[in-house]
Amino acid sequence: MKKGCPYGTHRVIEPKGKLPQPATKIDNSMEIYDNEILIDVQTLNIDSASFTQIKGEADGDVEKIKEIMKSIVDERGKHQNPVTGSGGMLIGTIEKIGPALEGKTDLKIGDKIATLVSLSLTPLRIDEIVDVRKDIDQVDIKGKAILFESGIYAVLPSDIPENLALSVLDVAGAPAQTAKLVSPGDTVVIIGGAGKSGMLCLYEAKKRAGITGNVICLGHNEETIDRVRKLNLADNYIVADATNAVEVMNKISEVTDGKMADITINNVNVPNTEMGSILATKDEGLVYFFSMATSFTKAALGAEGVGKDISMIVGNGYTKGHAEISLQILRESEELRKTYEELYA
């Protein structure tokens, strides 16, 4: 059996010397190396920015969505959207475990897991697309995938339905980072607060900021804001166009008496929301860009252009304990769990 690199560089075809994520093509043959895990894939959860782009390109037609997805995997050996650069994650059953991983993993054949590394670096073969649930960005397939030695995962919990767990784990980095960043008394703005990751972030922000904090939910329409308001996830609720930076700034200024946010967390799945996030934040505050639609060039040069001395964090989808933190939210909040079951499971 061939020996592999822990980070999967042995799978890179083009360009040589790259890691699997920035590579344009990787080997998706399913004969495993000694340090790889073979997964029988059940469902792909495509990240929101990517699936929004694919749906738009396909004009919402399910068969065209299937064609686009298969063409991406056929060309790249992985599901990495060439427009957004992003992927998603999957759930499946462990089929084989390389011998070099003996004693290094708690997994066993037959375990059902969610991978917590991006599809943009995961060797994937799609044999058939069985179903497209385009309202929740999930696609059932027949196929296989490879998890590298360095790849992180979560064994699916027994007390939460699989599709619900997949939806939550797909965005687990956002609420977990929120839990790390927010302190008692903070003013926190969640842009895209009515969405899948946004509601989890609101819950954690309110929990961490406490009664002396001010958690502000910003969404794009009244219907979604009303849903969040009924869940009592924030202290203030704002309807605004996140791409209109001045509108966002003015509305945040109104509810903070001009003090602005200590922390702004951007969860939206559309481009051009960088400046709204920046202008919503006070000097020496912090912006966490979880959105994969973010242009970090626009964010960096935009902050410089308006003279904002703020810290900006790239939306790393991983932080220690992120799966446990996010799933625990569903255990703590029956109302939020019901909402997620209705919307995303």
How confident is the model over 144-175, as pLDDT tens digits?
999 999 999 999 999 998 888 988 998 899 99
Spatial distance between the Cα atoms of 114 and 91, rounded to a whole number of angstroms: 4
The pLDDT of 21-25, averaged and rounded, is: 97
Spatial distance between the Cα atoms of 49 and 27, rounded to a whole number of angstroms: 25
pLDDT for 327 equals: 94
The strands making up 261-266's β-sheet, listed across from edge to edge, are: 236-239, 214-219, 187-191, 261-266, 281-289, 311-314
Residues 173-344, CATH architecture? 3-Layer(aba) Sandwich (3.40)
Q: Where in the chain is the domain with CATH 3.40.50.720?
A: 173-344
Nearest to 132 by CA among 65, 58, 52, 49: 65
**pLDDT tens figures, 77-98:** 999 999 999 999 999 999 999 9
Ramachandran angles phi, psi of 100, nearest 5°: -70, -15
pLDDT for 1 equals: 84
pLDDT for 179 equals: 95
pLDDT for 131 equals: 97
Q: Is 256:214 a contact under the CB 8 Å cutoff?
A: yes
**pLDDT tens figures, 190-241:** 999 999 999 999 999 999 999 999 999 999 999 999 999 999 999 999 999 9
Nearest to 19 by CA among 30, 5, 31: 5
Q: How confident is the model at residue 303 (pLDDT cuts 50, 70, 90)?
A: very high
Phi-psi region of 344 (alpha: psi -120 to 50; beta: other; left: phi over 0): alpha
pLDDT for 170 equals: 84
The pLDDT of 60-79, averaged and rounded, is: 98
Spatial distance between the Cα atoms of 143 and 211, rounded to a whole number of angstroms: 48
pLDDT for 186 equals: 98
pLDDT for 319 equals: 85
- As given in the structure block, the two tokens for residue 165 are 């767990």
Query: Residue 26 contacts by C-beta under 8 Å, 6 or more apart in sequence?
Result: 8, 11, 12, 13, 20, 76, 77, 78, 121, 123
pLDDT for 316 equals: 77
- Bridge partner residues of 287 (DSSP): 264, 312
Q: How confident is the model at residue 5 (pLDDT cuts 50, 70, 90)?
A: very high
Q: Is 204:330 a contact under the CB 8 Å cutoff?
A: no
pLDDT at 143 exceeding the cut of 90: yes
pLDDT at 180 exceeding the cut of 80: yes
The pLDDT of 112-138, averaged and rounded, is: 95
Q: Which residue has the higher pLDDT, 210 or 1?
A: 210
pLDDT at 187 exceeding the cut of 90: yes
- As given in the structure block, the two tokens for residue 167 are 């939806």
Residue with tokens 């767990």: 165
Tell me the whole-structure pTM to 2 decimals.
0.83
pLDDT for 317 equals: 78
